[in-house]
Amino acid sequence: MRVAWRTVGSIIDRVWADTEATVDLFTNIRRIGIDEISYKKGHKYPTVVVCHDTGRLVWVDVGKTKATLHTFFDALEASGQGRCARAAIDVLLDLFPGNPWMPTPAGPTL
């Protein structure tokens, strides 16, 4: 089956818009995973947030900067759902001192 990537992107945009209109993606967010995924040459990175409890995609945006994560946490706060209890993230937490959205980490749990 030959499908252009532009067509795939349009389908994803349409499905995502339908999902956002019918599902509150921030409901019961307690444990999340945050990662960036490289695509295309030139190192383009969307940041992806998933809910560990449900396995569902919660949020995605282009970029892997502090501002990108602030966009997610601002949306979470605006939704009225409050804070996350746990976050698995592969960046240094000292990039985010005084993070108001998550409790201070108590250290690694094995």
- Please, what's the b/e burial string for 99-108 (b: 16 or more CB within 10 A of its CB; e: otherwise)? bebbeeeeee
Q: Which residue has the tokens 């282009």?
A: 62
User: pLDDT tens across 23-69, in order?
Assistant: 888 888 889 999 888 777 767 788 899 999 988 888 888 887 888 88
CB 63 within 8 A of CB 44: no
Contacts of 27 (CB under 8 A, 6+ apart): 81
User: pLDDT tens across 4-23, in order?
Assistant: 989 998 998 999 889 888 88
- The model carries a pTM of 0.67
The residues spanned by each domain of the chain are 25-95
DSSP 16: H
